[in-house]
Amino acid sequence: MNTTESAQALAFVLLVIFLGYVLLIVIPFLRRRPNPEGDSDLLDFHVFIAARDEESVIGATIARLRSQFDRLHIWVIDDASLDATGRIVTEAMSTDPRLHLVSRRLPEARKGKGAALNAAFDTLRAWLPDDVDPTQVVVLVVDADGRLAPNALAQAAGPVAFGDPSTGAVQVAVWMSNRDDARPLPGQARWRNRLGSYLIRMQDIEFRTAIAAMQSLRGHTASVGLGGNGQFVRLSALIDIAGEYGAPWHGSLLEDYELGVHVMLTGHRTVYLHDTHVAQEALPSWRRLLIQRVRWCQGGMQCARYLGQIFRSPNFSNAGALEASYFLLMPYIQLVGVVLWPAVFVTMVAQGAVTVGSVGAWLLASWWLLPLVVVTGVVPFAVWPVIYRRQCAPQASWLRVFGWCLGYWLYMYQTYVCVVRAFWRLVTGRNGWAKTRRNAESTTLVTKEA
Q: Using the 8-state DSSP alphabet, how is residue 305 labeled?
A: G
- The amino acid present at 429, given as its one-letter code, is G
Q: In whole angstroms, give the CA distance from residue 374 to residue 393.
A: 25
Q: Which of residues 321-360 bind other proteins (CB under 8 A)?
A: 321-322
Q: Compare residues 65 and 169 and give the one whose CB is closer to other proteins.
A: 169
Considering only 107, 368, 399, 429, the residue that binds other proteins (CB under 8 A) is 368
Q: Is 268 one of the binding residues for other proteins (CB under 8 A)?
A: yes
CB contact at 8 A, 115 and 52: no
Question: Is 187 exposed, middle or buried (CB count within 10 Å of its CB: 0-12, 13-18, 19+)?
Answer: exposed
Q: Is 176 one of the binding residues for other proteins (CB under 8 A)?
A: no
Q: Is 243 one of the binding residues for other proteins (CB under 8 A)?
A: no
Query: 377: number of CA atoms within 13 Å, CB side?
Result: 12
- What element of type H or E holds 236? helix 235-245
Q: Compare residues 133 and 180 and give the one whose CB is closer to other proteins.
A: 133
Considering only 29, 75, 162, 257, the residue that binds other proteins (CB under 8 A) is 162
**Length of the chain counted residue by residue:** 450
Considering only 150, 186, 314, 429, the residue that binds other proteins (CB under 8 A) is 314
x-or-dash pattern for other proteins, window 33-72, by CB under 8 A?
---xxxx--xx-----------------------------
User: What is 106-118 written as a DSSP string?
Assistant: TTTS-S-HHHHHH
Q: Is 410 one of the binding residues for other proteins (CB under 8 A)?
A: no
Q: In whole angstroms, give the CA distance from residue 80 to residue 83.
A: 9
Q: Compare residues 330 and 422 and give the one whose CB is closer to other proteins.
A: 330
Considering only 19, 195, 356, 417, the residue that binds other proteins (CB under 8 A) is 19
CB of 41 to other proteins, least distance (A): 10
Considering only 90, 188, 347, 376, the residue that binds other proteins (CB under 8 A) is 376
Q: Is 390 one of the binding residues for other proteins (CB under 8 A)?
A: no
Q: Compare residues 129 and 371 and give the one whose CB is closer to other proteins.
A: 371
CB contact at 8 A, 210 and 202: no
CB of 255 to other proteins, least distance (A): 22
Q: Which of residues 89-118 bind other proteins (CB under 8 A)?
A: none
Strand, helix or coil at 259?
Answer: helix
Q: Compare residues 15 and 417 and give the one whose CB is closer to other proteins.
A: 15
Q: Is 159 one of the binding residues for other proteins (CB under 8 A)?
A: yes
Considering only 16, 30, 354, 406, the residue that binds other proteins (CB under 8 A) is 16
Strand, helix or coil at 39?
Answer: coil
Can you give 168-218 as a three-state secondary structure string? EEEEEEEEECCCCCCCCCCCCCHHHHHHHHHHHHHHHHHHHHHHHHHHHHH
Q: Compare residues 15 and 247 and give the one whose CB is closer to other proteins.
A: 15
Q: Compare residues 42 and 82 and give the one whose CB is closer to other proteins.
A: 42
Q: Is 132 one of the binding residues for other proteins (CB under 8 A)?
A: no
Q: In whole angstroms, give the CA distance from residue 207 to residue 214.
A: 10
Q: Is 9 one of the binding residues for other proteins (CB under 8 A)?
A: yes
CB of 229 to other proteins, least distance (A): 24
Q: Considering only CA atoms, which of 411, 47, 54, 56 is closest in space to residue 204?
A: 411
Q: In whole angstroms, give the CA distance from residue 225 to residue 233.
A: 12
Q: Compare residues 23 and 406 and give the one whose CB is closer to other proteins.
A: 23
Nearest 5°: CA angle at 367, between 366 and 373? 95
User: What is 346-358 written as a DSSP string?
Assistant: HHHHHHHHHHHSS
Q: In angstroms, how far is CA 348 from the centroid of its own chain?
A: 36
- The amino acid present at 96, given as its one-letter code, is D
| Pairing relationship of beta strands 147-148 and 231-234 according to DSSP bridges | unpaired
CB of 345 to other proteins, least distance (A): 15
Q: Compare residues 234 and 438 and give the one whose CB is closer to other proteins.
A: 234
Q: How many residues bind other proteins (CB under 8 A)?
A: 56
Phi and psi of 26, rounded to 5°? -70, -45
Considering only 136, 351, 358, 443, the residue that binds other proteins (CB under 8 A) is 136
Q: How many CB atoms are closer than 10 A to CB 261?
A: 26
Interface residues with other proteins (CB under 8 A)? 1, 5-6, 8-9, 12-13, 15-17, 19-20, 23-24, 36-39, 42-43, 135-136, 154, 157-159, 162-163, 165-166, 168, 222, 234, 236, 264, 266-269, 311-312, 314-322, 368-369, 371-372, 375-376
